[in-house]
Amino acid sequence: MSVGNDAPVDVHVHVHRVVTGTLPLRVADLLFTGRELLITEYADLTPVGLARGGVAAAGERARERYRAGGVHGLVALADRTTAVDYDDVERVRVHKSRVGRPKVAVDISEGIPYAYRVHAPVDVDAMAGALRSLGDRRGFATDRQATLGFSPLNSLRRFFGDR
């Protein structure tokens, strides 16, 4: 992972307060940096924790840590950080339908996708545009889809693949 030292990390697109769709629900941030995608998972929630506002509370802790320490602070807060090299990213799919929360799915060359529902307020069109621009520079496609983005089979694959 490229954030091992104290050198500044440039973030091109930061998708804050996203949640996995498999149990336990994991709250994370997606940091599309100049070098790679960093996925910082900083809270695990049960459905009860979700109902009690756990996503918002975890997201606020992460926001404070990010403001105070940047990417390094967020990585220090995280229970798990995954670095995905852009050479391994085939496509980023941004889903937004009239029903449900927006979804960001990252398809990689080997393995199952990383997929998250966005629980923070977000301008989906602006986010998709920023990801498209980054993808043009880093070699991955970005699709904006007016769908819910739900697949029971893919959800099971992510569950068993610990994503």
Indicate which CATH number applies to the domain containing 92.
2.30.29.30
pTM, to two decimals:
0.85
List the domain range (segments joined by +) for residue 99: 11-160
Whole-angstrom distance, CA of residue 84 vs CA of residue 86: 6
Indicate whether 4 belongs to any domain.
no
Query: So what's the pLDDT on residue 2?
Result: 56
pLDDT tens, 29-87?
A: 999 999 999 999 999 988 788 788 899 999 999 999 999 999 999 999 999 999 999 99
In a domain, 22, yes or no: yes
Nearest to 77 by CA among 162, 3, 156, 138: 3
- Whether residue 3 lies inside any domain: the answer is no
Helix (H), strand (E) at residue 96: none
pLDDT score recorded for residue 99: 79
Residue type, 50: L
Spatial contact of 106 and 155, defined as CB atoms under 8 Å apart:
no
27: which 2 tokens? 């709250």
The domain tally of the chain equals 1
